[in-house]
Amino acid sequence: MSTPLPSPVIAIHGGAGTLSRSLVSDAQKNAYHAALNDILVAGQRCLAEGGSALDAVALAVSLLEDCPLFNAGHGAVFTRDETHELDAAVMDGDGLRAGAVAIPVSPHVAQDLLPVIVASTTPTAVFAAPRELHRWSATLTGLARRGFPELLSGEGRGAPPRRRARGEAACIIFTSGSTGVARGVTCTHAAILAAVGGINRVLGQRQEDRILCALPFSFDYGLYQVFLAMACGAAVVVAAPAAAITGLPRLLADRRITVLPLVPGLSVLLLRSRMLERLTPRTLRMVTSTGDLLPSAQVDRWRSLLPNACVVPMYGLTECKRVAIMPPHLGPAAPSGSVGLPLPGTKVHLRPSGAQASDTTWGELWVMGPHLMAGYWGDAEATRQRFPMDPETGARQLRSGDAFTRDADGFLRFLGRMDALGHWRGQWLFTAPLEDRLARLPPVDQAAVVLQRESGEVRQIHAFLSTTADAEVLKAEARSLIADTWSQPPAIDVICRPKLPYTANGKIDRAALLASVSERALP
């Protein structure tokens, strides 16, 4: 006996608002119910006559919008940018076979970067707020403008959808370009699933979690909050960065937030506001941070303000999402200044190069694992250089471009970008540990160290301090600390600023800092 097929079910909603039973007459109630029933019957008839689920949904939505009894399609929403918009979308869940490759782009992307993205990816459709399209009209020439009625009618669907293989691209995420040319990282379904599974295993995120995301989805750390939540059944509460800064206590309380992802730039703003000192969150259990090194002084500050929450520094790259995570259960016992242990299933090793070939205590971090992405979209040479094959095993590897050291227990400690390190009188100048020490000076929120070179040798150290304190006193303390860190250092220049420049992803813009001093005369 064959099992009968289940009958399809259509669920509809008339719009926003609440109808109080005491204010609705029997005649009105009957009219509402009759109209809803007519729409459901029309949807069922569409299915019975061979229409697809998408056809039935589109029909039901259009009938709801045309019915004067309901406000479906006639309201608007208050956006994260504090504007009102009316957006519509239809999701086709038939086998999850959209087959498209998403390219999330920040509305604040640099004007000169957008043509690079469009030229390298040749998108077939662009979804953006109307107010954003005019900025990019010159770049988006040739792309057809289609409204949702056209899309629903089938005019803009193009080729039939298909399910992509696990090894095919799911999305292309462009790097920030903070360390050079911005490139589109090809993120496959398999690599995303591997990264999400490993991260959730370490963090222990669960169905009852509510994750506050105030990070852009064009930044993989922001986008991954959605993936992580979907994988474990948690909820994501999306907020604009400005809203998170000004209204964090209320957001944490009203939305019952349990996980708060941060980048150091956002951390600085929140700690400087001192609002957290008046905060007693009852649900928050975890604060995570990546994108840039979270100074150990900030880690300590968060732990003191949130004694019932674990603070989890992490390290990752767009090219593999996450490399190392500090185990949450360690709490204050975690090694200070470390980014944690490698992700499950991840193999890392430190490979010396160049002048440090005889030094095995540190080196460039190389990564292997199932979470490595496919490479750079449309750039085979860059992919070959950053994702070389292991000559012995044939496995793909990733050169991080970052210098690390590793202790006897396997904990990784970031030393700085390989191309940002310097050599002076036989000693290597590691910038990250010095930045961490400078950030521990009481009046300093954050520090950035850039090295100015001449003929290959470091000639001057520029230490930028984010502070509102007495600059002259602080400069003397910073120079003394630098002199104690490196024996006979080169010339030291200390610059105090109320705030440091950041990239769109919340990283310190060290390229901008170096450019700001590049015209200075060297001693």
Question: What is the tens place of the pLDDT at every residue in 105-141?
Answer: 887 777 777 888 888 888 877 777 766 766 666 677 6
Residue 422 vs residue 360, higher pLDDT: 422
For tokens 């809803």, name the residue: 36
Task: Report DSSP letters for 435-473, one per residue.
Answer: HHHHTTSTT-SEEEEEEEEETTEEEEEEEEEE--S-HHH
Same domain for 367 and 458: no
Residues 237/257, Cβ–Cβ less than 8 Å: yes
Nearest to 506 by CA among 302, 308, 261: 261
CATH at residue 466: 3.30.300.30
- Count the Cβ atoms, other than its own, within 10 Å of residue 65: 14
Strand partners for 169: 188
CATH at residue 280: 3.40.50.12780
Look at residues 351, 383, 415 and tell me which one is the last residue of a structural domain: 415
Number of domain units in the chain = 3
Question: Range of 25's domain?
Answer: 21-75
For the stretch 184-235, pLDDT in tens is 999 999 999 999 999 999 999 999 999 999 888 888 899 999 999 989 989 9
Domain membership of residue 312 (yes or no) is yes
Look at residues 415, 432, 461 and tell me which one is the last residue of a structural domain: 415
Q: ∠81-267-466 over CA atoms, to 5°?
A: 105
In a 3-state reduction of DSSP, which class is residue 313?
strand
Same domain for 477 and 408: no
Same domain for 444 and 391: no
For the stretch 476-515, pLDDT in tens is 999 999 988 887 888 899 999 988 988 877 788 888 898 8
Give the pTM. Answer: 0.78
pLDDT of residue 523: 46
Domain membership of residue 44 (yes or no) is yes
